[in-house]
């Protein structure tokens, strides 16, 4: 028995004969689309076509497909391929949309004509994320801009789970936020389990002062038998959407150089974060 049975009709017709996108262009577009749909909570299953048209095909559960519609139109569940096709066409996304039946339930298969259509769809999804997904995405973006890897940021029952970050990234977070010294003038050592405990304590205090209600911060040092296979880590707990945005705002302000009053020289315009005694509040 086939894993899926195609339903009724395909909306959008056949793609025109166009010059094929390169394999690299398709991979980049597919990655962007996967990231955007994952950020929206649509949980897609997709693959890159090997040749010809369409360039990229992605299948989205029927209930998740409603997340692709911006604004008030998001609320009703999509029950037809023609609805989604019409919405996408209105935003300049060229695609054929087919209703399919998977083992897990009904779904919509979106066959995008070109890699640029996948990028347009990704941009559309990210520009109209619903809460709490919008707050989670903003936090991901600001953490990445601060060179902090937080791959576990996700929405869990309406809250935002930040998850584990490495001790090295935790030290970066301390430095950016101005909490990064064991004693005045001394740096925290990401390879010392004692300093990892200090990092967790200081981050917890700093986040508590910046957030309404604070955020749990737990040290997770590696044991002697696993230190070679994983780094020391710090686990950040669940945040409300409002708290996630507050964290993002604090990080963005702290990581943005501000001009010093009375100094025209560019050498004096950066905010100093490494020394708590010279850190400026922004």
pLDDT tens-digit map of 215-248: 788 988 888 777 777 888 889 989 999 989 988 9
Do 127 and 70 touch, CB atoms closer than 8 A?
A: yes
Mean pLDDT of 43-71: 72
Least trusted range by pLDDT, from 48-52, 135-139, 201-205 = 48-52
CA-to-CA distance for 209 and 214, rounded, in angstroms? 7
Say how many Å lie between the first and final Cα of the chain, rounded.
Answer: 63
Residue ranges with strand state E in 74-142: 95-102, 105-112
Q: By percentage, how much of the chain surpasses pLDDT 70?
A: 71
Residue 83 has pLDDT above 80, yes or no: yes
- Of 45, 56, 47, the closest CA to residue 22 belongs to 56
Do 57 and 37 touch, CB atoms closer than 8 A?
A: no
- Of 29, 17, 91, the closest CA to residue 58 belongs to 29
Do 62 and 77 touch, CB atoms closer than 8 A?
A: yes
Backbone angles phi, psi at 259, to 5 degrees: -65, 140
Render pLDDT for 171-187 as a digit per residue (tens, 0 to 9).
888 777 765 444 433 46
Helix (H) or strand (E) holding 270: none
Backbone angles phi, psi at 274, to 5 degrees: -70, -30
Residue ranges with strand state E in 86-243: 95-102, 105-112, 154-156, 159-166, 217-220, 233-239
């Amino acid at each position: 028995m086939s894993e899926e049975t195609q339903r009724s009709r395909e909306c959008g017709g056949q793609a025109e004969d166009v010059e094929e996108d390169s394999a690299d262009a398709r991979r980049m577009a597919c990655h962007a689309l996967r990231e955007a749909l994952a950020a929206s909570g649509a949980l897609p299953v997709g693959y890159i076509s090997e040749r010809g048209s369409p360039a990229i095909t992605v299948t989205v559960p029927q209930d998740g497909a409603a997340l692709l519609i911006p604004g008030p139109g998001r609320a009703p569940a999509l029950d037809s391929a023609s609805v989604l096709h019409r919405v996408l066409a209105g935003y300049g996304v060229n695609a054929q949309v087919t209703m399919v039946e998977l083992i897990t339930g009904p779904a919509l298969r979106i066959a995008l004509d070109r890699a640029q259509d996948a990028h347009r769809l990704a941009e559309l999804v990210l520009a109209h994320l619903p809460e709490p997904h919008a707050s989670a995405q903003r936090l991901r973006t600001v953490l990445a801009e601060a060179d902090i890897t937080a791959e576990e940021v996700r929405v869990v029952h309406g809250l935002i789970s930040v998850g584990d970050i490495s001790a090295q990234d935790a030290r970066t977070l301390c430095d950016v936020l101005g909490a990064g010294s064991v004693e005045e003038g001394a740096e925290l050592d990401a390879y010392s389990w004692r300093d990892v405990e200090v990092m967790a304590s200081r981050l917890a205090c700093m986040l508590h002062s910046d957030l309404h209600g604070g955020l749990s911060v737990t040290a997770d040092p590696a044991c002697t038998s696993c230190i070679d296979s994983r780094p020391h880590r710090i686990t950040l707990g669940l945040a409300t959407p409002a708290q996630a945005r507050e964290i993002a705002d604090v990080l963005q302000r702290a990581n943005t150089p501000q001009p010093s009053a009375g100094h025209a020289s560019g050498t004096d315009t950066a905010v100093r974060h490494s020394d708590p005694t010279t850190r400026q509040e922004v």
